[in-house]
C-alpha cells in the first residue's frame, strides 16, 4: 500500500550542472523520487536542445520531459563570484552532477578533490562520453557517435544495407539510467559508512554493456556477429520479423521460436496449406526457408489490420505486437493510458506539458511529478534566501559582482 506523498529520496539535495539529455534524464529520475534538484543554468546554453529555452516545439518538449520537477538558478561561472556561490551550494548538497568534458569542472575549482574538501561526504556524478580515464577521455562526442563507437550502430540494420543505428540518441537515455543507478548505489553506501565517492560514468561503456554477449561470442567462438535485420544472430526462430499490414506504413512484429509457437500460429491463421508443407515442418527447416516463409506470412498480414491481427495472434498465445508510432503510444494505446506512463503537468505559465513517467511502480514510494521544467532562474530567491540564508544586502552585492548570468 502506497504511503500518500512517500518519496524515497526526500531530504536529498542534488546540485545539477548537467545539460542536453543524458545528465538531465539522470537527475530527473532522482527528482521524481523526492530529491530536491537545483539546476544550475547559464544564458550561454539557451539554444541547446533541452536547454533553458528553445524556439522549437521539440526542444521545449524535451526540456520539460527531462527537467520536470526541478528548481532553476542562473550562475555566471566565468566570474569568481559565481564560482564562490557554487561552492556554497556544494556545502549544502548531497550530490553534485555534471556531464561536461573533463576540463570544465576543474577549471571552476569544482573537481571531486576540491568539492570533497568543502563537504567530505559529497557524492559527485561525472557523466562523459568515454569516462574520465583512458586514451579517449577528451574526445568530443554526441549520442550518434557514441552509439557508433560502442558497436551498436554496426549491428543495426539489414545485411545488405549500411549501418543505421537508432533514430534518437539512445546512448543518452541508457547513460542517464546508468548515472541515476550509480548515484543510488553511492547513497546506499554513504548511509552505511558516512563516506561519499566520485562516480565516473562512460556513456559509451553504458551502450557497450548491452552488447556483452556478442563480444563474448567473438572472443570464445571467433564469430564476428554481423547485421541480421530482424533475424536472430544465432538462429532463433522463424517467422521472426516485422511484416507489412493494411494501411499506410503499418507493420506487425511476429516472433515464433518453437514448435508450440508454430502450431498456435498456424491455427490462428486458419491452417493455410502452405503452412503444412514439409519445408516448414521443423524449426530447423523453417529457418532454412526463412525468406520464403517471410513472403508467405506477409501475404497474410497485408490483408490484415495490424491491431486486429495482433489481438488474433496474442489470443492464440503467439508473441505479436504492432510497430507503434509515437502518435500510437501517446494517443491510442490503452495499456499505456491505464498505467499512466504519460502525464500532463503545468509549466510556469499554466500550460499543460506532456512528460514521461518512470517505467516502474513502487508500491510504497511511487514518487511524483507536480510541475514541468522551471523557467530560467525561476528559483533564485528560494535557493539563495531559504537554503543559503542570503539577505538583501548580500544579494545586491552578488548582483554587482556578476554572480548571476
Q: Which of 37, 43, 51, 39 is nearest to 402 (CA)?
A: 43
Locate 301 and state its grid cell: 498480414
Q: How far apart are CA 160 and CA 342, in angstroms?
A: 38
How many residues does the structure list for the chain? 405
**C-alpha 189, offset from chain centre:** 24
Are 142 and 153 spatial neighbours (Cβ–Cβ below 8 Å)?
no
Residues paired with 39 in a beta bridge = 16, 72
Cβ-Cβ contacts under 8 Å for 185 (sequence gap 6 or more): none
> Hey, is 244 helix, strand or coil?
strand
Q: Which of 144, 136, 128, 103 is nearest to 206 (CA)?
A: 128
Strands 71-74 and 36-41: parallel
* Residues annotated as part of the active site: 172
Integer Rg of the chain from CA = 26
CA distances to 24, 45, 82, 339, 367 from 85, in Å: 21, 19, 5, 42, 30
Q: How many helices (H) and strands (E) would you count in the chain?
A: 17, 11
Amino acid at each position: 500500500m502506497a504511503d500518500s506523498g512517500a518519496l524515497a529520496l526526500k531530504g536529498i539535495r542534488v546540485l545539477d550542472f548537467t545539460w542536453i539529455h543524458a545528465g538531465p534524464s539522470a537527475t530527473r529520475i532522482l527528482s521524481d523520487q523526492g530529491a530536491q534538484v537545483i539546476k544550475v543554468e547559464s544564458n550561454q546554453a539557451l539554444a541547446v536542445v533541452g536547454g533553458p529555452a528553445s524556439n522549437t516545439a521539440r526542444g521545449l518538449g524535451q526540456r520539460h520531459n527531462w527537467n520536470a520537477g526541478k528548481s532553476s538558478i542562473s550562475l555566471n561561472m566565468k566570474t569568481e563570484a559565481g564560482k564562490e556561490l557554487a561552492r556554497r551550494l556544494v556545502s549544502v548538497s548531497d550530490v553534485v552532477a555534471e556531464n561536461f568534458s573533463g576540463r570544465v569542472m576543474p577549471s571552476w575549482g569544482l573537481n571531486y578533490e576540491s568539492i570533497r574538501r568543502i563537504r567530505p561526504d559529497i557524492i559527485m556524478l561525472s557523466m562523459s562520453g568515454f569516462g574520465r580515464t583512458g586514451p579517449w577521455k577528451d574526445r568530443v562526442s554526441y549520442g550518434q557517435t557514441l552509439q557508433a563507437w560502442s558497436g551498436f550502430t554496426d549491428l543495426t540494420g539489414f545485411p545488405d544495407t549500411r549501418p543505421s543505428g537508432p533514430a534518437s540518441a539512445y546512448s543518452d537515455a541508457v547513460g542517464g539510467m546508468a548515472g541515476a543507478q550509480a548515484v543510488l548505489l553511492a547513497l546506499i553506501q554513504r548511509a552505511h559508512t558516512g563516506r561519499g565517492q566520485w562516480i565516473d560514468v562512460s556513456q559509451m561503456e553504458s551502450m557497450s554493456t548491452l552488447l556483452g554477449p556478442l563480444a563474448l561470442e567473438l572472443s570464445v567462438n571467433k564469430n564476428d556477429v554481423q547485421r541480421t535485420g530482424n533475424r536472430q544472430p544465432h538462429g532463433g526462430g522463424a517467422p521472426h520479423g516485422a511484416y507489412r499490414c493494411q494501411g499506410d506504413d503499418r507493420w506487425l512484429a511476429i516472433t515464433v521460436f518453437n514448435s508450440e509457437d508454430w502450431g498456435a500460429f498456424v491455427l490462428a491463421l486458419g491452417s493455410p496449406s502452405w503452412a503444412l508443407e514439409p519445408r516448414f515442418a521443423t524449426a530447423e527447416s523453417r529457418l532454412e526457408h526463412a525468406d520464403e516463409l517471410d513472403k508467405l506470412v506477409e501475404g497474410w498480414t497485408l490483408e490484415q489490420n495490424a491491431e486486429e491481427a495482433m489481438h488474433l495472434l496474442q489470443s492464440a498465445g503467439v508473441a505479436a505486437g504492432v510497430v507503434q508510432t509515437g502518435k500510437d503510444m501517446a494517443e491510442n494505446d490503452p495499456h499505456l493510458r491505464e498505467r499512466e506512463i504519460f502525464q500532463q503537468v503545468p509549466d510556469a505559465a499554466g500550460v499543460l506539458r506532456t512528460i514521461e513517467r518512470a517505467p516502474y511502480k513502487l508500491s510504497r514510494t511511487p514518487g511524483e511529478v507536480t510541475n514541468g521544467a522551471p523557467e530560467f532562474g525561476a528559483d533564485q530567491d528560494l535557493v539563495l534566501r531559504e537554503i543559503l540564508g542570503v539577505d538583501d544586502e548580500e544579494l545586491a552585492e552578488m548582483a554587482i559582482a556578476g554572480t548571476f548570468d
